């Protein structure tokens, strides 16, 4: 029996039931967004008792499907005020799936000030007080060590770090990875929701559980083989990401003139070599020791875009040093040293904050005169101070929109109060439409596509022209919503967009696992429905089309080197969701 | 932009290390008196066309046969750019005449 678990933090009651009929066959983002739309009061305060937090593995999580170990977390976002699906790697999703848990809901709110741990094994769910030693500023790395010691080092762990305990709008939910390092459900402040419900950690103990059932193992195995080959045969998934990580984009986006610099006042820098993927690769190789050029954030990942970055003595500093973090600290905030960036990345994981939101908030704070431009040491201090927290730490922890307001800035790069990531929409127009219209707020991951006809949709795109961009953004958002529901890592996109056989193999895996018969059209419809549900929630929460806009300054401040502005009209932007 | 009579050449992914070796730095500054295609430049630098998905010229994605002029800034990009940016930056749009480049071949 698949389980749907509800934990009520007001009265500490736990309900374990079968999956409600309407959620049968749903997973990942499709499940979390439908649930949030069904059960969360759209006008509730996100940090109050009426918000609900839902964790859901994807349809294929826990199986041998490559790259299927992603977890979706849903709630009303304290950062945007709209619906949020946050997504992470790590071991949590596979553990949930192996335990037959299709969803874990946390609702209500304790009246006391204590923090709790929810411990789940194959037989029951126990709520107990969190050990003192992991509270009050204890970093996530140490907390994982303590919890591994207490509950066994095979357990899955989801953590509300110090920032989440203090309910920062930038607080992430931190997840243990296979080596007990940290991955993040970063965007949208869902860590603060977890913290508001006084849940410090969720422990998954898979002792004694069986394998995830598969309806047709032979068909499944065959589809896995085709899918894996499609990924490995593609130079992006098969080589580029493994060797250079997502930082491979630093040089590419810089060359294209779309790398936002100094709080979005320029599109290209001349010190990109300092922290490009190529430099990251060379530095890790040169230093040896514990450094690894390639690493997977969950077992079964065959793309392995992550890495272990080591210091000059070869000691581990951080892993999962992503393009968006490196861009934000390096180009947007002007921090030139890759080492300083790596230490800040580690600190952000340890405190549990969204590295994109905080990096962009730092850039805005620099323009606002709160922090000297490019001062990596000061930034590291502030992040570490989030454990206390100091007033400055709270300001930065409030996110970019808050910093912008406090500093009296007009140049505040957010959509729906969420920071715009590492691709300037003036120079890459299609991305701009996604930032503007996705129900998630400015989100670069909302626009990945698995549609087999993406070449038809995107074949004629020119980044500085308007033609085709509306159709491109629409198709990408629909496709992404579908991928997010399967539990697959978005990077499987590469084995699919250029390879119709790969796309069919994904569908075949789902069909073989559940003994069903969905088609590519069904998957497209799935994506459309997820987006409809999310927009419905946002509308009820008070959002209108007027929120689907980029910041005004992008309409009149040209971005060098191409000297372009954002010139889509409101009417054109509104066409993206015309379906 | 580079000085008249020269071009700036960059390489990404594994071509970063390759280009760096030529003059010991990045970008490579090459003398160029007359226009040249990306393909001819690649040949001159001993880079196989199979190792190039698109080129950049003055910040725009172009196909391999695009003309590079003295004073231009260009870059060679092997297959491997992740993300929907492959589409958003126009890789497919600029590669219509060269099926080899976006039907990516596995290198042996």
Chain A residues with CB inside 8 Å of B80's CB?
Answer: 235-236, 239-241, 244, 248
Question: Mean per-residue pLDDT for B64-91?
Answer: 87
**Closest-CA distance of chain B to residue A273, Å:** 9
Burial of B37 (0-12, 13-18, 19+ CB in 10 A): middle
For residue B17, give its domain range.
6-97
Nearest-by-CA chain A residue for B15: A278
Q: Which numeric CATH code is attached to A241-414?
A: 1.10.569.10
Nearest-by-CA chain A residue for B75: A255
Identify which of A249, A282, A463 has the shortest CB distance to residue B82: A249
Q: DSSP alpha helices (H): ranges in A51-172?
A: 92-98, 140-151, 162-165
Domain count, chain B: 1
Helix (H), strand (E) at residue A83? strand A83-88
Nearest-by-CA chain A residue for B27: A273
- Count of Cβ atoms closer than 10 Å to residue A136 Cβ: 11
Identify which of A243, A277, A463 has the shortest CB distance to residue B88: A463
Angle at A574 between CA A569 and CA A576, to 5 degrees: 110
- Which comes out higher in pLDDT, residue A456 or B95? B95
In a domain, B105, yes or no: no
Joined tokens for residue A24 = 């049968």
The edge-to-edge listing of strands for the beta sheet with A306-310 is: A292-295, A306-310, A316-319
Residues 451-490 of A with CB under 8 A from B: 454-455, 458-463, 472, 476
**Closest-CA distance of chain B to residue A493, Å:** 8
CA–chain centroid gap for A308, Å, is 19
Kindly determine whether residue A459 and residue B93, on different chains, have CB atoms separated by under 8 Å. yes
Q: pLDDT value at position A472?
A: 79
Say which CATH class A3-204 falls into: alpha beta
Contact A137, A388 (CB under 8 A): yes
CA atoms in the 13 A half-sphere facing the CB of A280: 38
Contact A53, A197 (CB under 8 A): yes
N-to-C CA span, chain A: 37
Please tell me chain A's helix, strand, coil percentages from 3-state DSSP, rounded to the nearest 5: 45, 15, 40
Joined tokens for residue B35 = 């226009």
**Closest-CA distance of chain B to residue A86, Å:** 18
Q: pLDDT value at position B96?
A: 55
Angle at A232 between CA A227 and CA A237, to 5 degrees: 105
| Residue among A202, A108, A231 nearest A501 (CA) | A231
| Exposure letters A166-182 (e unless 16+ CB within 10 A, then b) | bbbbbbbbbbbbbeebb
At residue B43 the predicted structure's pLDDT band, cuts being 50, 70 and 90, is very high
Q: pLDDT value at position A498?
A: 66
Each residue of A175-195: pLDDT tens digit?
Answer: 999 999 999 999 999 999 999
Q: pLDDT value at position B99?
A: 47
Q: Is A429-574 CATH 1.10.599.10?
A: yes
Decide if pLDDT at B8 tops 90.
Answer: yes
Residues 67-86 of B with CB under 8 A from A: 75, 77-86
In a domain, B35, yes or no: yes
List of chain A residues with pLDDT < 70: 238, 448-460, 497-498
| Residue among A334, A330, A363, A361 nearest A345 (CA) | A330
Q: Where are the domains of chain A?
A: 3-204, 241-414, 429-574
Residues 539-578 of A with CB under 8 A from B: 561-562
Identify which of A256, A277, A561 has the shortest CB distance to residue B89: A256
At residue B100 the predicted structure's pLDDT band, cuts being 50, 70 and 90, is very low
CATH number at residue B72: 3.10.20.30
Q: pLDDT value at position B66?
A: 94
Quote the strand ranges of A147-274, DSSP E: 156-159, 173-176, 182-185, 199-204
Is A351 an interface residue toward B (CB < 8 Å)? no
Across chain B, what does the average pLDDT equal? Answer: 84
Q: Which of A239, A240, A255 to mutate to test the interface with B (most CBs of B within 10 A)?
A: A255
Residue A82 is given by DSSP the state S
Q: How many helices (H) and strands (E) does chain A have?
A: 24, 17
Contact A502, A491 (CB under 8 A): no
Joined tokens for residue A264 = 């979005």
Decide if pLDDT at B101 tops 50.
Answer: no
N-to-C CA span, chain B: 37
| Residue among A70, A67, A168 nearest A395 (CA) | A168
Kindly determine whether residue A268 and residue B88, on different chains, have CB atoms separated by under 8 Å. no
């Amino acid at each position: 029996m698949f389980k749907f678990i509800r934990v009520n933090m007001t009265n500490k009651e736990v309900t374990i039931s079968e999956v409600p009929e309407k959620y049968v066959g749903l997973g990942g983002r499709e499940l979390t967004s439908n649930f949030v739309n069904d059960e969360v009061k759209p006008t509730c305060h996100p940090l109050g008792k009426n918000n609900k937090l839902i964790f859901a593995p994807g349809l294929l999580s826990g199986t041998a499907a490559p790259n299927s170990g992603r977890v979706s977390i849903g709630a009303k976002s304290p950062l945007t005020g709209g619906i949020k699906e946050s997504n992470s790697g790590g071991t949590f999703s596979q553990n949930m799936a192996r335990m037959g848990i299709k969803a874990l809901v946390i609702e209500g709110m304790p009246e006391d000030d204590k923090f709790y741990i929810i411990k789940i094994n194959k037989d029951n769910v126990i709520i107990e007080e969190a050990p003192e030693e992991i509270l009050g500023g204890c970093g996530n790395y140490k907390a994982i060590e303590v919890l591994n010691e207490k509950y066994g080092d095979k357990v899955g762990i989801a953590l509300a770090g110090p920032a989440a305990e203090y309910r920062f709008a930038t607080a992430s939910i931190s997840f243990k990875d296979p080596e007990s390092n940290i991955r993040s459900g970063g965007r949208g402040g869902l860590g603060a929701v977890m913290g508001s419900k006084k849940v410090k950690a969720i422990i998954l103990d898979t002792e004694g559980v069986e394998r995830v059932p598969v309806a047709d193992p032979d068909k499944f195995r065959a589809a896995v083989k085709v899918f894996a080959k499609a990924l490995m045969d593609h130079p992006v998934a098969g080589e580029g990401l493994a060797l250079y990580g997502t930082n491979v984009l630093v040089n590419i986006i810089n060359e294209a003139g779309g790398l936002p610099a100094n709080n979005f006042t320029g599109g290209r820098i001349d010190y990109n070599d300092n922290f490009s993927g190529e430099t990251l690769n060379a530095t890790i190789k040169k230093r040896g020791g514990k450094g690894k050029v390639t690493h997977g954030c969950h077992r079964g990942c065959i793309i392995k875009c992550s890495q272990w970055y080591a210091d000059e003595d070869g000691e581990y500093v951080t892993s999962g040093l992503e393009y968006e973090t490196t861009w934000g600290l390096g180009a947007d905030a002007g921090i030139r040293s890759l080492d300083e960036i790596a230490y800040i990345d580690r600190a952000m994981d340890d405190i549990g904050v969204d590295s994109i939101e905080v990096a962009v908030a730092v850039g805005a704070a620099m323009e606002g005169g709160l922090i000297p431009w490019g001062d990596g040491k000061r930034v590291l201090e502030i992040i570490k101070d989030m454990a206390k927290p100091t007033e400055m730490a709270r300001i930065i922890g409030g996110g970019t929109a808050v910093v912008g307001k406090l500093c009296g800035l007009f140049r505040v790069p957010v959509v729906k109060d969420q920071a715009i990531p590492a691709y300037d929409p003036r120079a890459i127009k299609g991305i701009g439409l996604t930032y503007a219209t996705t129900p998630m707020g400015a989100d670069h991951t909302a626009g990945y596509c698995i549609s087999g006809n993406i070449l038809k949709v995107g074949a004629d795109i020119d980044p500085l022209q308007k033609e085709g961009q509306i159709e491109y953004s629409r198709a990408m958002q629909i496709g992404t919503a579908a991928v997010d529901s399967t539990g697959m890592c978005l990077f499987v996109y590469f084995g699919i967009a250029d390879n119709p056989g790969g796309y069919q193999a994904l569908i075949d895996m789902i069909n073989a696992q559940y003994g069903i018969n969905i088609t590519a059209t069904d998957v497209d419809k799935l994506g459309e429905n997820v987006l409809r549900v999310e927009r419905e929630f946002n509308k009820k929460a008070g959002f209108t089309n007027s929120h689907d806009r980029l910041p005004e300054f992008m309409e009149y401040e040209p971005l060098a080197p191409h000297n372009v502005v954002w010139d889509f009209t409101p009417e054109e932007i509104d066409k993206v969701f015309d379906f | 932009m580079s000085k008249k009579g020269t071009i700036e050449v960059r390489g990404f992914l594994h071509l970063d290390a390759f280009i760096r070796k030529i003059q010991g730095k990045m970008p490579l500054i090459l003398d160029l008196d007359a226009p040249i295609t990306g393909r001819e430049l690649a040949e001159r630098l001993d880079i196989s066309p199979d190792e190039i998905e698109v080129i950049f010229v003055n910040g725009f994605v172009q196909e391999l046969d695009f003309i590079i002029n003295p004073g231009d800034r260009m870059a060679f990009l092997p297959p491997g750019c992740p993300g929907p940016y492959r589409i958003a930056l126009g890789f497919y749009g600029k590669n219509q005449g060269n099926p080899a480049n976006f039907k990516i071949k596995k290198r042996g």
